[in-house]
């Protein structure tokens, strides 16, 4: 029963989280990029990113807690870093990457970068920074999709047979 509940919470959170990330990547960032005024561009993206990063931290924690509860309920922690546990290990690694990004790098690096751009924008290559941000966001969508595939393999692949 607890396993099913955790599974439902895991999936709903992943949908909201990665769906939100895809929305920021495919809708918000291109809109910001096509805004001609540099200050407007930075402020628009900064406001969205600040709000989304806060919610994404909650999504990250809920996904991780529900995931680890499922793993320990099933005794699958023994599969971590084994051949049979490759999808589970991969999913966990992507989660760790996100944890570091959201709790470590985002508040320090990304936030500071956006603040600096908002203050002294004229001297910076803002378009270049936004192109990099766009690439980085597509990379994060891609590895999150890979984690989803790893999750499906964990739930319905060989690991589920253990």
Q: Which residues of this protein are in contact with ligand HEM, per CB under 6 A?
A: 7, 10-11, 14, 18, 63-64, 67-68, 70-71, 76, 91-92, 94-95, 98, 144, 147-148, 151-152, 154-156, 160
- Measured CA to CA, the distance from residue 51 to residue 57 in angstroms comes to 10
Intra-chain end-to-end CA distance of the chain, in Å? 19
Q: Cβ closer to ligand HEM: 98 or 130?
A: 98
Minimum CB distance to ligand HEM, residue 147 (Å): 4
Token readout for 121 is 């924008």
In whole angstroms, what separates CA 73 from the centre of its chain? 25
Minimum CB distance to ligand HEM, residue 121 (Å): 33
The dihedral through the CA atoms of 108, 110, 115, 119 has a sign that is: positive
Q: Cβ closer to ligand HEM: 79 or 117?
A: 79
Beta strands in the chain, from DSSP E residues, in sequence order: none
Minimum CB distance to ligand HEM, residue 57 (Å): 13
């Amino acid at each position: 029963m607890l396993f099913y509940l955790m599974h439902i919470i895991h999936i709903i959170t992943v949908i909201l989280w990665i769906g939100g990330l895809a929305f920021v990547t495919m809708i918000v960032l291109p809109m910001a990029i096509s805004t001609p005024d540099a200050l407007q561009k930075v402020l628009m993206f900064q406001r969205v990113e600040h709000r989304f990063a806060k919610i994404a931290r909650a999504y990250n924690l809920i996904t991780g807690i529900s995931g680890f509860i499922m793993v320990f309920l099933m005794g699958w922690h023994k599969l971590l870093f084994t051949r049979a546990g490759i999808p589970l290990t991969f999913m966990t690694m992507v989660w760790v990457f996100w944890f570091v990004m959201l709790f470590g790098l985002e508040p320090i690096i990304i936030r500071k970068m956006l603040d600096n751009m908002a203050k002294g924008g004229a001297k910076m290559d803002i378009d270049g920074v936004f192109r990099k941000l766009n690439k980085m966001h597509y990379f994060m969508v891609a590895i999150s999709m890979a984690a989803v595939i790893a999750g499906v393999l964990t739930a319905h692949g060989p690991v589920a047979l253990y």
